[in-house]
Amino acid sequence: MSLTTANIRNIALVGHGGTGKTSLLEQMLFNGGVIPKAELPDSGKSVSDFTDEEIERKMSIHTTLSSMEWKESRINILDTPGVGDFVGEVVASYRASESAVMLIGARSSVQIETIKLWRRLNNRQMPRIVFINKLDVERADFEQTFSDLNDRFEKTFVPVTIPIGTGNEYKGIVNLIENKAYLIHDEGTNDKPSDIPDEMNERVEKYRLTLIETAAEGDDELLEKYFEEGTLSPEEIRKGLQEGLRNYKIVPVLCGSALKNNGIASLLNFINTAAPSPDLYQEKAFNDKEEEVAIPMSESDPFSSFVFKTSIDQFSGRLSYVKVVSGKLTSDTELLNSREMKKEKGSKVYRAVGKKLFETKELIAGDIGVLTKMDSVKTNDTICDSSRVLHFKQLALPQPVFSVAVSAASKKAEDKLNEFLHKATEEDLTFTVNFNTETKENVISGMGELHINIILNKIKDKQKIEIETKIPKIAYRETITKSAEAEYAHKKQSGGHGQYGKVLLQIKPLPRGEFFSFNNAIKGGSISKGYMPGIEKGILEGMSEGFLAGYPIVDIGVTIIDGKEHPVDSSEMAFKLAGKGALKEALKKANTVLLEPIMNLKVYIEEQYLGDILSDLSSKRGRVLGQESLGGGIMEVDATVPQAEMLRYAIDLKSITSGTGSFDMEFDHYETISGKIADAVIAASQADKDSE
Residue-wise pLDDT tens digits, 233-245:
999 999 999 999 9
Give the pLDDT of residue 190: 47
* Res 409 pLDDT > 80: yes
Give the pLDDT of residue 283: 94
- Percent of the chain residues topping a pLDDT of 70: 98
State the Cα–Cα distance between residues 328 and 361, nearest whole angstrom: 10
Across the chain, what does the average pLDDT equal? 91
State the Cα–Cα distance between residues 185 and 49, nearest whole angstrom: 28
Give the pLDDT band of residue 230 (cuts 50, 70, 90): confident
Give the pLDDT band of residue 692 (cuts 50, 70, 90): low
First to last CA, the chain: 69
Question: Residue 637 CB: number of other CB atoms within 10 A?
Answer: 22
Give the pLDDT of residue 374: 87
Q: Count the residues in the chain.
A: 692
Give the pLDDT of residue 407: 93
Give the pLDDT of residue 602: 95
Are 670 and 595 spatial neighbours (Cβ–Cβ below 8 Å)? Answer: yes
For residue 667, the cross-strand partners are 599
Q: What is the DSSP string of 254-277?
A: EE-BTTTTBSHHHHHHHHHHHSPP
* Res 525 pLDDT > 90: no
Give the pLDDT band of residue 495 (cuts 50, 70, 90): low
Give the pLDDT of residue 61: 85
Give the pLDDT band of residue 24 (cuts 50, 70, 90): very high
Alpha-carbon radius of gyration of the chain: 31
Give the DSSP H/E element, type plus range, for residue 292.
strand 292-296
Give the pLDDT of residue 496: 64
- Structural domains of the chain ordered from first start: 5-203+250-279 (3.40.50.300), 282-392 (2.40.30.10), 402-463 (3.30.70.870), 478-590 (3.30.230.10), 594-687 (3.30.70.240)
Tell me the backbone φ, ψ of residue 583, rounded to 5 degrees.
Answer: -60, -45
* Res 428 pLDDT > 80: yes
State the Cα–Cα distance between residues 604 and 574, nearest whole angstrom: 57
* Residue 37 DSSP symbol: S
Please state whether beta strands 317-326 and 304-313 pair in parallel, antiparallel, or not at all (unpaired).
Answer: antiparallel
Residue-wise pLDDT tens digits, 259-286:
999 999 999 999 999 999 999 999 999 9
Residue-wise pLDDT tens digits, 540-563:
999 999 999 889 999 999 999 999
Residue-wise pLDDT tens digits, 499-514:
899 999 999 999 998 9
Least Cα distance to 255 among 105, 110, 133 occurs for 133
Please state whether beta strands 282-287 and 172-175 pair in parallel, antiparallel, or not at all (unpaired).
Answer: unpaired
